[in-house]
């Protein structure tokens, strides 16, 4: 190796010296007294020198690193070290207590352990406050290592100790008590709170651990709530005696097969979708809850609809003669609201629950008979229009009527200090959008007052204190489109708890030869049919809406609202009780 280095150096030296190295060679060959050993010794000396320089450089670098590490090393005082150590450990422990309390499955035998977790979290906060206080370190640091921890072996006496600690006025004594009780509580949890056997198992991946956690949580539950589609996930959960899943490792956590399936809104569930949970291994009994008189599954394709792909299992079982149990008591609607739907859609087989027939259930939200539990408000001054790039109709005059009612409800709710939920329902998306645009976020900032605007389909299964229905249709031929759908009408009429107010053109609906003719006649017979012109403030709001829109057709029909321009121009009166 050294010989090769010498040769390389000699070549490099030759390149550097040019002619001089050649001259030296000629002289050497001509001079028999030239000593080649002197050249080798010179090269050896140069190698030794380089090695020495490298060793000195390495030593210097090591010394610099050592000095740099010493500069970064900070030695904390004992108090600071103790404070920092406690803060780090307490933060992790507090988070652990929070997770266990929120996520860990509970049973009656573990109530004592969860009570301990709650108390430990409180005690950690108390200790943190004293340890991080800047005014007096002696409260917690003096005697930290010397003083023994008081122990009360009887768990039943701990509540009394906690109570006495909270009433203790001496900060130093209070800190000592909190410290002692906290340590005893933690020792109790270490002894009595059992984590699952797999908690300390080594996992090769996070997914393995995640699956065991999920299965463990499922094992401890009595009821699992999920959508029909998400129930597919249970096919990937290892279950006991489940041959479909193949071999399972010896230590794998398994779930007992699910035995009972309960499907809500089953009449709105397509038959093919219901098969997902019905084929889960172990299902022995299925209960379907639904209402055939309300909206079925949505099938957009007419070909698929005609082929029966929208049929539900509920409908199929009914057609095959399976017996059904009718839930014949309703607990939502005021009797005045339920009267027509029960008679028209349920053959009077449903009765009102004791809670809704109670006098306290009736709420007088706005003054006047028009705003009783049930009313039809006739607005025949508007007409249907369609959006620029759509076919869905809307009625701007009805929008104005609805907005005025909502504003009045809001004012009364704030004035009385009561909570109120309002739902605005329309069969047509264009009307829903028009109302939403006008409302904006006007009422979002008030916790006690909420307004939801949705289509009939969007309100199925929901309920509100007050429901306002905007029927939209207003024409001279009695055309009402899919308002003729009995199931959609039933859903719209059965969402309200205390008040249901229908806003629409009574003439158009009466000429429709649909269920709405019966609704208008029923309201008239019961004395619940009112004209918008009966309320001057509402009429004024409708006139303003027509004027702002500069709607020539609506202005031409203004006489139908019994409104004259001079009566309301410049009127600044507010409608108050």
Q: Which of 146-155, 307-316, 389-398 has the lowest mean pLDDT?
A: 146-155
With bands split at pLDDT 50, 70 and 90, how would you rate the model's confidence at 147?
Answer: low
Please give the span between the terminal C-alpha atoms of the chain, in angstroms, as a whole number.
110
What per-residue confidence (pLDDT) applies to 89?
Answer: 92
In whole angstroms, what is the distance from residue 265 CA to residue 486 CA? 18
CB 168 within 8 A of CB 130: no
With bands split at pLDDT 50, 70 and 90, how would you rate the model's confidence at 563?
Answer: very low
CB 113 within 8 A of CB 192: yes
- Expressed in percent and rounded to 5, the helix, strand and coil fractions of the chain are 55, 10, 35
* Residues in the chain, overall count: 577
Residue 117 above 50 pLDDT? yes
What per-residue confidence (pLDDT) applies to 311?
Answer: 87
With bands split at pLDDT 50, 70 and 90, how would you rate the model's confidence at 10?
Answer: very low
In terms of pLDDT, which residue wins out, 37 or 132? 132
Task: Please give the average per-residue pLDDT across 261-270, as a whole number.
Answer: 91
Task: Please give the average per-residue pLDDT across 344-354, as a whole number.
Answer: 95
Residue 501 above 90 pLDDT? yes
Chain-centroid distance, C-alpha 89: 31
What per-residue confidence (pLDDT) applies to 246?
Answer: 45
Q: DSSP for 120-172?
A: HHHHHHHHHHHHT-SS-GGGTSTTTTTSPPP----GGGHHHHHHHHHH---HH
pTM of the model: 0.65
Taking all residues of the chain, what is their mean pLDDT, rounded to a whole number?
80
**Biggest alpha carbon distance in the chain?**
144
Tokens of 383: 């007409």
| Neighbouring C-alpha atoms within 13 Å toward the C-beta of 91 | 5
Residue 567 above 60 pLDDT? no
What per-residue confidence (pLDDT) applies to 6?
Answer: 47
Tell me the pLDDT tens digit for each residue of 14-29.
444 444 333 433 333 3
What per-residue confidence (pLDDT) applies to 345?
Answer: 95
Residue 553 above 70 pLDDT? no
With bands split at pLDDT 50, 70 and 90, how would you rate the model's confidence at 315?
Answer: confident
Structural domains of the chain ordered from first start: 78-194 (no CATH), 225-239+253-325 (3.40.50.300), 330-557 (3.40.50.300)
Residue 401 above 90 pLDDT? yes
What per-residue confidence (pLDDT) applies to 253?
Answer: 65
In terms of pLDDT, which residue wins out, 552 or 149? 149
Residue 172 above 70 pLDDT? yes
């Amino acid at each position: 190796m050294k010989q090769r280095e010498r040769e390389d150096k000699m070549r490099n030296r030759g390149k550097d010296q040019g002619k001089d190295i050649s001259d030296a060679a000629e002289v050497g060959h001509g001079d028999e007294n030239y000593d080649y050993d002197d050249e080798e010794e010179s090269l050896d000396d140069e190698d030794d020198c380089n090695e020495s320089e490298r060793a000195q450089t390495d030593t210097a670098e090591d010394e610099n690193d050592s000095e740099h590490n010493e500069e970064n090393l900070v030695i904390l005082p004992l108090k600071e070290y103790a404070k920092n150590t406690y803060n780090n450990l307490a933060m992790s422990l507090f988070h652990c207590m929070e997770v266990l309390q929120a996520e860990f499955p509970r049973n009656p035998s573990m109530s004592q352990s969860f009570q301990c977790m709650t108390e430990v979290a409180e005690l950690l906060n108390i200790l943190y406050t004293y340890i991080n206080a800047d005014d007096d370190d002696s409260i917690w640091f003096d005697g930290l290592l010397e003083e023994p921890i008081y122990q009360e072996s009887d768990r039943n006496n701990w509540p009394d100790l906690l109570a006495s600690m909270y009433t203790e006025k001496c900060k130093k004594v209070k800190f000592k008590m909190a410290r002692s009780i906290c340590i005893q509580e933690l020792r109790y949890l270490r002894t009595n709170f059992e984590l699952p056997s797999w908690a300390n198992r080594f996992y090769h991946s996070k997914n393995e651990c995640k699956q065991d956690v999920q299965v463990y949580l499922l094992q401890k539950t009595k009821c699992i709530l999920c959508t029909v589609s998400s129930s597919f996930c249970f096919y990937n959960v290892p279950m006991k005696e489940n041959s479909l899943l193949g071999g399972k490792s010896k230590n794998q956590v398994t779930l007992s097969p699910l035995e009972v399936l309960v499907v809500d809104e089953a009449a709105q569930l397509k038959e093919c979708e219901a098969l997902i949970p019905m084929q889960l291994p172990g299902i022995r009994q299925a209960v379907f809850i639904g209402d055939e008189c309300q909206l079925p599954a949505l099938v957009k394709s007419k070909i698929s609809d005609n082929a029966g792909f929208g049929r539900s299992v509920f409908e199929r079982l009914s057609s095959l003669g399976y017996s059904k149990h009718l839930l014949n008591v309703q607990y939502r609607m005021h009797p005045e609201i339920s009267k027509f739907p029960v008679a028209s859609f349920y053959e009077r087989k449903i009765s009102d629950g004791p809670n809704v027939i109670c006098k306290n259930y009736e709420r007088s939200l706005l003054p006047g008979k028009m705003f009783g539990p049930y009313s039809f408000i006739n607005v025949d001054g508007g007409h249907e229009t369609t959006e620029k790039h759509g076919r869905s109709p809307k009625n701007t005059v009805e929008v104005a009527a609805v907005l005025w009612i909502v504003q009045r409800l809001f004012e009364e709710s704030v004035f009385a200090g009561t909570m109120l939920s309002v739902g605005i329902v329309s069969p047509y998306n264009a009307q829903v959008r028009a109302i939403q645009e006008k409302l904006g976020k006007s009422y979002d900032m008030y916790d006690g007052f909420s307004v939801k605007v949705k289509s009939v389909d969007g309100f199925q299964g929901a309920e509100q204190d007050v429901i306002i229905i905007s029927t939209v249709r207003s024409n001279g031929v009695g055309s009402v489109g899919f308002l003729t759908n009995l199931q959609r009408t039933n859903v719209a009429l059965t969402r309200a708890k205390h008040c249901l107010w229908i806003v629409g053109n009574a003439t158009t609906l009466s000429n429709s030869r649909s269920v709405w003719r019966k609704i208008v006649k029923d309201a008239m017979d019961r004395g619940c049919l009112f004209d918008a012109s009966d309320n001057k403030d509402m009429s004024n709001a409708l006139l303003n809406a027509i004027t702002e829109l500069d709607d020539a057709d609506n202005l031409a029909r203004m006489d139908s609202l019994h409104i004259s321009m001079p009566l309301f121009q410049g009127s600044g009166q507010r409608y108050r009780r």
